Amino acid sequence: MQTKIPVTQGSSFWKMRNLANEQGLIDMSVGITEFNCPSELSNLAAWYVKEKYNNFAPVEGLLSLRKHISERYHKEYGRYYSPVTEITICAGIVQALSSAITAVVNEGDEVIIFEPSYFTYSPAVRLNGGTPVYVPLTEPDFRIDWEDVRKMITSRTRLIILNSPHNPTGMVFGREDLLQLQRLIQGTGISVISEENFEYLIYDQEKHQSAGEFESLASRCFIISSPGPLWHINGWGLAWCMAPEKLMSEFRSVHEYQVFNVNSPFQYALSDYLNTHPDTTEITEFYQGKRNYFNRLLKGSSFILKPARGTYFQLVNYSRISKEADVDFALRLVNETGIAAMPLSVFMHKVKNNQYLRFCFAKKNETLEEVASRLIRFSESCAV
């Protein structure tokens, strides 16, 4: 049978993840944290499971949870989204993205994707008959050249996908970027997906710029986020999407047939927890400390690091050590150091010898110390 997606970036992604599992490597390749969710939150989840809150949740999600998300967003960003008609609870970021893409993309439409990009974007576009149009982020800072974007816009452009803080590069797009995007889509029929999964993991006193803060942008934008990075619960498979009612109505039509139900007891637990834990500064400071420590451990080595501005991913450039392609170098690290890191080219539609690896620093200090020690020994052996 002919496959609908003959080639995907995800095959290389999962290859590295599987290697880490099979060989017992130190896995820095994917966003798996070494930290437990808050005990109060896990106790709430256990209580709701035990007390038999295990039936289907409403298809749009638990209303009390949607109310807390609405209140939090309004307080932090100044825009009100109706919990009744404009917020939907989803089964994770990937499902939320897939439903949003399906809601607006039809046969022949073009979708602008900034690259490197998370590897699920393009397949979702292709499954809906659309064509990904890739705009490379400009190195070494991985910024958007908005003039390049403007040149890519055609009469068939239907959607632009923005991700900030950006996975995999750790870049954070600022107010001027959002204003540029807003100006770009004015007078067009272009919609926007703003994936903001790491909105609370922004460092060095920078402030997250959410698409909802920009009036014209918000009117045609799906905003997607999740509690996963905030409380170390990525595996719960919870996320949310916010959009104006007209967009959300179509989103929910798709969502209902893609998912139907999102984990019910976890929604109850998260709703209770959000009600009593409004502060997010602690997690920002926590992960900034992890970033700083990992960078400090590798300081003075042959690896080149520019501290990530957001997320819990750090790009590491190895061009002073080897000219190998990043996939080959990553496999060499696996074999010679027992460390799994993700090649940056996995997040590109065409393999490019960019000489970057992505490391997840959501790890305990002893793990970061061991990884840095092995990397430094490895780099020194390469120089001999």
Give the pLDDT confidence of 209-257 residue by residue, as tens digits.
Answer: 999 999 999 999 999 999 999 999 999 999 999 999 999 999 999 999 9
**Which domain, by its residues, includes 211?**
55-276
- Token reading at 119: 């590897």
Contact 140, 319 (CB under 8 A): no
What pLDDT sits at residue 277?
A: 85
Q: What pLDDT is recorded for position 3?
A: 75
Boundary-marking domain end, from 217, 242, 276: 276
Q: pLDDT > 70: what percent of the chain?
A: 96
| Inter-residue contact 357 to 326 (CB < 8 Å) | yes
Is residue 271 located within the same domain as residue 352?
no
Which CATH number is 253's domain given? 3.40.640.10
User: pTM for this one?
Assistant: 0.95
Boundary residue ending a domain (234, 256, 276):
276
Q: Do 246 and 364 reside in the same domain of the chain?
A: no
On whether both 261 and 147 belong to a single domain, the answer is yes
Is the pLDDT confidence value at 90 over 60?
A: yes
* 200 has a pLDDT exceeding 70: yes
Same domain, 285 and 230: no
Q: 9-33, pLDDT tens digit by residue? A: 556 677 777 776 777 789 999 999 9
Report pLDDT for 60: 97
Q: CA-CA distance, 243 to 212, in Å (whole number)?
A: 9
Residue 111 lies in a domain: yes
Domain of residue 329, CATH code: 3.90.1150.10
Return the pLDDT at 7.
59
The total number of structural domains in the chain stands at 2
Confidence check: pLDDT of 65 > 80: yes
In a domain, 41, yes or no: no
Q: Is residue 5 part of a domain?
A: no
Say yes or no: 249 and 368 in one domain.
no
Domain finish residue from 241, 276, 311: 276
What is the predicted pLDDT for the residue at 10? 54
> What is the rounded distance in angstroms from the CA atom of residue 261 to the CA atom of residue 185?
34
Same domain, 356 and 262: no
The answer to whether residue 192 sits within a structural domain is yes
Give the mean model confidence (pLDDT) for residues 88-117: 97
Confidence of residue 5 (pLDDT cuts 50, 70, 90): confident
**Residues 109 and 219 grouped into a single domain:** yes
pLDDT digits (tens, 9 = 90+) for 172-187: 999 999 999 999 999 9
Q: State residue 210's pLDDT score.
A: 98
Domain shared by 141 and 254, yes or no: yes
What pLDDT is stored for residue 37 in this prediction? Answer: 94
Are 176 and 268 within one domain? yes
Q: How far apart are CA 188 and CA 318, in angstroms?
A: 42
User: What are the CB-based long-range contacts (under 8 Å, 24+) for 142-146?
Assistant: 142/116, 142/166, 142/169, 142/171, 143/171, 144/114, 144/173, 144/177, 144/180, 146/177, 146/180, 146/181, 146/184
Q: Is residue 48 part of a domain?
A: no
Q: What are the backbone angles phi and psi of residue 43, rounded to the nearest 5°?
A: -65, -40
Residue 195 banded pLDDT, cuts 50, 70, 90: very high
Q: Same domain, yes or no, for 99 and 84?
A: yes
35 within domain boundaries: no
Instruction: Identify whether residues 367 and 317 lie together within a single domain.
Output: yes
